[in-house]
Structure 1
Amino acid sequence: MAQTAPPMVVQVERSAAATTELKTVGQQVERLLAARPQGQVVEVREGASIQEAINAAQPGDRLIIYPGTYHETVYIDKDSITLSGVIESGQWPTLDGEGTRNDAILYSGNGILIENLKITRYKGNGIMGQAGNNFVIRNNWVIDTGVYGIFPQYGRNGFIDQNILTGIKDAAIYVGMCDNIHVSSNEVYGNVAGIEIENSRHAVVEGNYAHDNTGGILAFITPGLPIKTTNDVIIRDNFIVNNNIPNFAEPGSIVANVPAGTGIIIMAADDVMIEGNLITGNKNAGIIISDMTFAENLPSDPESDPNPERIRIYDNLMLDNGAEPIAEVVAFAATQLVFDSRGPDILDTKADPESCIHDRQRYRTAGLSDYGVCAPGGTAEVVSYLLDEPVEPRSITMEDKGKLAYYAICAGCHAYDIRLIGPKVTEIQRSYQNNPQGIVDFITRPVKRRPDYPEMPPQDYLDMEVRQAVARYMLQVSK
């Protein structure tokens, strides 16, 4: 009888991004913060405006926010500003959007520190970054802030740590088009997606508690964005537990495709390493790895590789997953001659021969027949992908600001040629051809015109120049 060849041993090269000389993440963050200029301490108490204090601040100033309720949207367009809440006798400084405001905190400055704030009842985002580098977002409590809880976009060298987020109808922590990011020790529950790394590179997601979401931790590529790849992502030492709540995302959004009961989902991302996680009680499957056919209504983009490649699965503790798999999981497992009423611990619909798994027999798997065996090593030598020195501030033109605002704000609801939460960009272009001011007027004071779309929240927190720039950019977008 012919003998089956043993699986190939796959050697894993250390990422060139993991070149830190520092020994702990804490050292990296302290160096990052120490590099900022030191300015004045400004106290903000209930009844005063945080935004007015920011308007008067200089780079390096530290705003101390005392307990109380603040009904406003805060926009930080200066570098090295700190928003630091004071928590006294269990009372937090609270930004309350009252269910009418879109965003709580928006920043475009570099070297921003946001900590110790409670943020609740916004319709769009809790904390959103637009091209700010060297950011630290830690120890915040974010509740029911609409689409995203913490959402840095187009940033580099960022630290998201010890936040609690719940009630978010897309991703609680959403890292979009960023590089060199560390997401650690956060608790995310009661959201559609707990943590999502999208179109980002060089990210570590570790020590988080993702429980009772629809899906726990996601690493995705979304086609049609300026950054075309997601790679070099480490998902390690997380507790990914009981992510079984029904999906309550807006119809048309990408996460509306996330099946309840899934611990980790990798869609089209490359060089993802999964190690040391406790993945338990997820009723559909522990880990799903798929190409872009996983999601419906994705825009076409020939520059985005749809297939996941070089996935590394090291030792993880996986218990009691797959108790109630969806029909698609059962059907795919059957094509792999896996006939089981339970869903698998690990499923890969597009197995890449350069992918590998350590100690495969520990898990119930489907679609991993082409996987090799991971050589010893794991991820221990990678402290993080944070940089030893802060990134130099980038120069942003007004045209750049329009483009960034489009991808950071508009693209979440409007795709070029498919329906998402809002109308297609092509429809908007036809309606406002050669009339950017018409778009500016509408986004400043939106009026609900169509019953088949939700009401758009006002975008008047953006300054007029940015609104004009994003309107011009939207009218010239071609893909």
Structure 2
Amino acid sequence: MALRQMPRGARRMTHLGCAAAVLAGVLGMAPPSRAVPDRDEGVLVVRPGESIQRAVDAARPGDTVVLLPGVYRESVRINKSHLMLRGTDGRTVLAPPTAQAAPACNAAGDGICLTGAPGGPLTDVHLRSLTVEGFRRNGIWASGTEGLTIHHVAARHNGQWGIGVEKSVHSALRDNLATENGDAGIFLANAAEEEAPGLDTRGTLVLENRLDGNRIGITARRVRNLLIAHNTVLGNCGGVFVVGDENRPAGGALTVRDNEVSGNNKFCPATKRLPFLQGIGVVLTGVEDTLVQHNLVRDNIGKSPQSGGVVLFRSFVKAANHRNLIRDNVVLRNAPADLVNDDPAGQGNVFVHNTCRTSRPPGLCQ
């Protein structure tokens, strides 16, 4: 069924009401084997057994693709702007396709991949209420986007990152769950596979996510101007990593506040990039002008080089930390210490008004 395209303003209706109206109107209109998705007033509805990719390819700017509850063995490529892909109450699951299924971005091992064109970013794409699990590489991978939002998505048991975003600005990652992924639950970078200066993300938000059982909860690598706040980071090998290097500008100029980072004591063996990880709360390494404030960091216990509550660590490429402020945090029962400054080359780093009991060197708990 093809209806005329709605005016752009009308299609910007409240998505919950839109999805509910569509579901009420189209259930039963076509059998599950229908190849072409239904379109009704700017919404395309996909049922288990139908192709998500076909619906995405058929969507017009401003459309919403609604996935009814069920398991979809498919990977999906999104390369058009102004689109929403949403599941139904989190009961929509994307899993790796069978060997016979035509790959979209599954050749790289990703569940959903979003890629901007060389001429400009992929703009105003929204992912909501989905589960993406079991993919060889990343649950969701985004590169070259602007205004990307990922909300209420579960990314679990993926080989590398649960949600990975590079070369992107104005992103909002909110109220997601990332568990048991091979590397970071949420990974943000200027560029994942190349050397580059720190990227100004222009206000990217990482808010109210839960990261549990990953190698690292959140990694912010060579990025600037973003907020990491109100996240719950538990049971990973490492909690929050803010990473820079010798490139200029360095990573940093960002805020980590009001997070709970506790009990990240899972053991992860060494890789080519990092030594073994265990008992790591919040680490700043090779970054500048970062504020770590009002966090609860407790019970992170380990013997890795970066273990401890809040740790300043000189990077493995010898880039020092400069002008970082760690204040007004509750940092307790971490080992080898609650506060650690293991960066003698760093300048202008300040620890003040933190509630803690142990530090290396002594005297940081004041």
TM range (shorter): 0.7 to 0.9
**C-alpha distance in structure 1 between counterparts of 2:150 and 2:339, whole Å:** 32
Matched residue type, 2:205: H
1:47 aligns with 2:49: yes
CA offset at residue 71 of structure 1?
Answer: 1.2
CA offset at residue 320 of structure 1?
Answer: 1.1
The CA RMSD measured in Å over matched residues stands at: 2.6
CA contact 2:71–2:92 (8 Å) conserved in 1:
yes
1:245 aligns with 2:266: yes
Q: Deviations over 1:384-439 (max 9, x none)?
A: xxxxxxxxxxxxxxxxxxxxxxxxxxxxxxxxxxxxxxxxxxxxxxxxxxxxxxxx
Q: Deviations over 1:149-196 (max 9, x none)?
A: 111110000100110111111111001115021101111011010001
CA offset at residue 292 of structure 1?
Answer: 1.6
Partner SS, residue 254 of structure 2: strand
CA offset at residue 222 of structure 1?
Answer: 5.0
**C-alpha distance in structure 2 between counterparts of 1:99 and 1:46, whole Å:** 15
Name the residue aligned to 1:347.
Answer: 340
**C-alpha distance in structure 2 between counterparts of 1:211 and 1:361, whole Å:** 20
1:221 aligns with 2:244: yes
CA offset at residue 229 of structure 1?
Answer: 2.3
CA contact 1:192–1:248 (8 Å) conserved in 2:
no
CA contact 1:347–1:368 (8 Å) conserved in 2:
no
Equivalent in 241, 246, 271 of residue 289 of structure 2 = 271
Name the residue aligned to 1:93.
Answer: 92
CA contact 2:125–2:148 (8 Å) conserved in 1:
yes
Name the residue aligned to 1:232.
Answer: 253
Matched residue type, 1:265: V
Give the 5 Å matches for 1:371-386: none
Name the residue aligned to 2:102.
Answer: none
Name the residue aligned to 1:57.
Answer: 59
Percent identical pairs in the alignment equals 23
Gaps of 5+ in 1: 1-32, 299-304, 323-342, 374-479
Partner SS, residue 279 of structure 1: strand
Q: As a proportion of its length, which structure holds more strand? A: 2
Partner SS, residue 170 of structure 2: strand
Q: As a proportion of its length, which structure holds more helix? A: 1
Give the 5 Å matches for 1:12-31: none
Higher relative contact order, structure no. (Cα contacts within 8 Å, ≥ 6 residues apart): 1
Name the residue aligned to 1:257.
Answer: 275
Partner SS, residue 122 of structure 1: coil
CA contact 1:354–1:372 (8 Å) conserved in 2:
no
Partner SS, residue 266 of structure 1: strand
**C-alpha distance in structure 1 between counterparts of 2:12 and 2:269, whole Å:** 41
**C-alpha distance in structure 1 between counterparts of 2:357 and 2:171, whole Å:** 34
CA contact 1:175–1:196 (8 Å) conserved in 2:
yes
CA contact 1:129–1:151 (8 Å) conserved in 2:
yes
**C-alpha distance in structure 1 between counterparts of 2:235 and 2:365, whole Å:** 32
**C-alpha distance in structure 1 between counterparts of 2:145 and 2:246, whole Å:** 23
1:243–1:187 distance in 2 versus 1, CA, 3 Å: same
Name the residue aligned to 2:69.
Answer: 67
Name the residue aligned to 1:383.
Answer: none
Matched residue type, 2:139: G
CA contact 1:276–1:317 (8 Å) conserved in 2:
yes
**C-alpha distance in structure 1 between counterparts of 2:365 and 2:251, whole Å:** 22
Q: Deviations over 1:200-259 (max 9, x none)?
A: 1111111101000000011002568xx85211121111111100001157x32x3x4352
Matched residue type, 1:277: N
**C-alpha distance in structure 1 between counterparts of 2:129 and 2:153, whole Å:** 5
CA offset at residue 290 of structure 1?
Answer: 1.3
CA contact 1:215–1:258 (8 Å) conserved in 2:
no
CA offset at residue 349 of structure 1?
Answer: 1.7
Gaps of 5+ in 2: 1-10, 19-40, 100-105, 116-121, 191-198, 303-307
Name the residue aligned to 1:477.
Answer: none
Q: List structure 1 segments (4+ residues) > 2 angstroms apart after TM superposition.
A: 98-101, 256-259, 359-363
1:74–1:98 distance in 2 versus 1, CA, 3 Å: closer
Name the residue aligned to 1:402.
Answer: none
**C-alpha distance in structure 2 between counterparts of 1:168 and 1:308, whole Å:** 28
**C-alpha distance in structure 2 between counterparts of 1:49 and 1:210, whole Å:** 35
How many residues of Structure 1 are paired with residues of Structure 2 in the alignment? 300
Partner SS, residue 54 of structure 1: helix
Q: TM-score, normalised by structure 2?
A: 0.76
**C-alpha distance in structure 2 between counterparts of 1:236 and 1:361, whole Å:** 15
**C-alpha distance in structure 1 between counterparts of 2:339 and 2:12, whole Å:** 43
1:34–1:367 distance in 2 versus 1, CA, 3 Å: farther
Name the residue aligned to 2:299.
Answer: 281
